[in-house]
Amino acid sequence: MATAIERHHAAVEHHHDEHHHHVIEFTPAQRLSMNRLGLWLFLISETFLFAGILVARIVLLRDEGGSFTRPELDQQLGLVITFILLLSSLAVYMGETAISRGEIGRFKAGIGAAIVMGLIFTVGVGYEWSIAHFAPSDGVEGGMFFFMTGMHALHVLTGIIFLMIVYWNGRLGNYTKQSHWGVEASALYWHFVDVVWVFFYVALYLIGHVPEVH
Amino acid sequence: MEFEHNDPHNEQEEGQSPYERGIIVFFALTVFTFIEYVIGTTEGKILVFSSNLVPLGVIALLKAGLIVSYFMHISRLWSSEEDLH
């Protein structure tokens, strides 16, 4: 006579067999829809990370009177690299639009330009680091500046890698007008990194005043 | 694995091509950024606000809204399955 545990195991196996025989088939449209939702949920989780960092900057960088302060940075450089990152988002948008119309030449031009601009942005941030009047260990100001720009630059580099993979796949002819989820996903990630910089730029370069004494 | 796209948001809307729309959005982002720069570098001297946090925050939200709406196509999330076919 079978024990209760054996009967349970048999029931579980039967249940599993049923699952194996009833594989749910999704249409391409359903898969695309689920992919989009999954990526957006990931981006929302990233938003919490960057929002937390932003709140920390707002709370911590103040003077004795409670007024907002900011690090002393090269304003012109900040404006130029911000412009370049916005322009790279336009290039990615153009590339994604092009592949959705089957225009492979424009796709490669857009994604390729975005990769170059992403690299220029990263070099710009590196240059800002090299000329900064403070080090990461120089109090809250130095810590916040290098933490915020470092976290963002890490995401920019990740985005550049994604775009390089997408560019290479495009060269190989792996994307078509009808099928290019990889392009859409990497474009979404790149635009998200751009949105983060929209807030980090004002938080680091523009909000508050530069304290007179460091 | 790749899935089929046929997104109506990539097609022409109201007689405007997606390329033109992208350039217009980028132009708006550039203008907003320049306004931010002016507000930030004058440190509120030309504004009535005691801190530049509020105007800069509002402009940053507008810029983020433009990117999320037009470049990231957030409306695709609630596109019906029929739209995707």
Say which CATH topology domain A40-206 has.
Four Helix Bundle (Hemerythrin (Met), subunit A) (1.20.120)
Round to whole Å and give the CA distance between B52 and A72: 16
pLDDT of B38-61, one tens digit each?
999 985 555 556 678 899 999 999
Round to whole Å and give the CA distance between B76 and B85: 13
Boundaries of every domain in chain A: 40-206
Mutate to test the interface with A, among B37, B41, B61 (most CBs of A within 10 A): B37
Helix/strand/coil percent split, chain A, to 5: 75, 0, 20
Round to whole Å and give the CA distance between B25 and A49: 27
For residue A110, the chain B residue with the least C-alpha distance is B19
Q: Which of A84-88, A210-214, B34-38 has the lowest mean pLDDT?
A: A210-214
Contact criterion met (CB below 8 Å) for A136 and A143: yes
pLDDT of A190-205, one tens digit each?
999 999 999 999 999 9
Return the bridge partners of A62, or none: A68
Q: Which of A80, A81, A115 lies closest to A95, judged by CA?
A: A115
Out of B23, B40, B84, closest to residue A29 by CB:
B84
Round to whole Å and give the CA distance between A168 and B52: 44
**Residue A17 confidence class, pLDDT cut points 50, 70, 90:** low
